[in-house]
Amino acid sequence: MKYDKSHLNKIQYEVTQNNMTEAPFTGKYDDFFEDGIYVDIVSGEPLFSSKDKYNAGCGWPSFAKTISKASVSSKTDLSHGMIREEIRSANANSHLGHLFNDGPSELGGMRYCINSAALKFIPKKEMKEKGYEEYIKYI
């Protein structure tokens, strides 16, 4: 399926389509903790819940898990002289960020380190009107 990307600004396009990473501590969701869900900026696909977001201090939004394992795919990323696990949205194939195993053990030990530019936040109070009512249970 083709997704319209004309609504993306330059950084959103570069991150999601060209695997770029936004600079640390510059993304709008790094230090943001309202109730709601985070969806793929390209497709609107639900990805993460605010309930699973935590402050990892790394400069990017961090989540302990996805809303659904089926909402993301992963592949080995050998760029920049590192071995990492890249995370992409399952439907739109947007580059989201990377997955690391250095998250809080009490949350399962994983850290989904995600670019703010790849996400759109849907506040809990707007979820029903925007068609995300079934995901309220994840908050």
Is residue 113 flagged as an active site residue?
yes
Kindly list the distances between the CA atom of residue 81 and the CA atoms of 15, 77, 78, 84, 104, in Å, as whole numbers in the listed order.
19, 10, 6, 10, 26
- The single residue of 113, 118, 119, 127 carrying the catalytic annotation is 113
E strand or H helix that includes residue 89: strand 84-89
Answer whether 42's CB lies under 8 Å from 8's CB. Answer: yes
E strand or H helix that includes residue 12: helix 10-18
Catalytically annotated residues: 113
